[in-house]
Amino acid sequence: MNNASDMTEPIFHESLDERIGDPRGVHVWTHNLDAAGDVWLDRDELLSSEELSVAHRLRSPLARRRFVRSHVIARHLLADILQQPAGDIVFRRNRWGKPFVESPRSAALDFNFSHSENAFLFGVCFGAAVGVDVEMIRDNAELLSIAESFFSPVEIASLHSRSSSEQRNLFFRYWTLKEACAKLAGRGVSADAADPDAVTGRQHYQTTLRVGHDQIAAAIVWRSGHE
């Protein structure tokens, strides 16, 4: 098991201070953005002016703090990998918004992160592209109508055949996988989001996590070579 493309499962790291060690494979961290005692994650001076202007546009102090913390975590993890001070990392985005590291240049590295309320998921790999998504599993009366707009006929039929709690869990499984596929490609909202074959040729891993008291659906998708 050498390259990211050979891996069947990502490597989950327990703590933000846990180092990658062997850089091969897809490495993943999860974190509770509301964890008490994480004041070191509130260091918004590490962010770029672009990140700060997004943060300042967020009206809710909670949303602002979560945004800052998620970006500080991304910088902290990438700083460790790239052996650069966290504040020196320069991000750019592709035309659809997927961020990548512009400096220090590391062509082989790809990363992606996702947040849903207080839940945060970060994935990084070398020599492959990665997309991740997390969603808090919640009851939502609109699930089936959302599915009608975005899911395939097979997926919709599968949802209809389930009890309501199974239906909710399956909905978030489908949803996070579609989002992670779209995020791997870096395209954001795209026509292939509803394509059940979007995952073809890609490695993927799905799980349910607990972050704080909440249940979170998580999907990680990777593919060798950048798309």
Question: What residue ranges bind ligand COA (CB under 6 A)?
Answer: 67, 70, 96-99, 112-115, 133, 150, 175, 178-179, 182-183, 186-189, 193-194
Residue closer to ligand COA by CB (options 7, 143) is: 143
Q: Please, what's the b/e burial string for 28-50 (b: 16 or more CB within 10 A of its CB; e: otherwise)? A: bbbbbbbeeebeebeebebbeee
In whole angstroms, the minimum distance from the beta carbon of 188 to ligand COA comes to: 3
In whole angstroms, the minimum distance from the beta carbon of 22 to ligand COA comes to: 25
In whole angstroms, the minimum distance from the beta carbon of 115 to ligand COA comes to: 4
Residue closer to ligand COA by CB (options 48, 106) is: 48
In whole angstroms, the minimum distance from the beta carbon of 2 to ligand COA comes to: 26
In whole angstroms, the minimum distance from the beta carbon of 96 to ligand COA comes to: 4
DSSP lists the bridge partners of residue 224 as: 128
Peptide bond into 85 cis (omega under 30): no
Q: Could you give the CA distance from residue 121 to residue 74 in angstroms, rounded to a whole number?
A: 10
Q: What angle do CA 124, 126, 132 make, to 5 degrees?
A: 30
Cα 16 to chain centroid distance, Å, stands at 15
In whole angstroms, the minimum distance from the beta carbon of 153 to ligand COA comes to: 14
What is the greatest pairwise CA distance in the chain? 52
Residue closer to ligand COA by CB (options 93, 105) is: 93
CB-based contacts of 90-95 (< 8 A; 24+ apart in sequence): 90/48, 91/48, 91/50, 91/51, 94/186
Residue closer to ligand COA by CB (options 7, 68) is: 68
Residue closer to ligand COA by CB (options 70, 203) is: 70
| Residue-wise DSSP of 208-220 | EEEETTEEEEEEE
Residue closer to ligand COA by CB (options 70, 118) is: 70
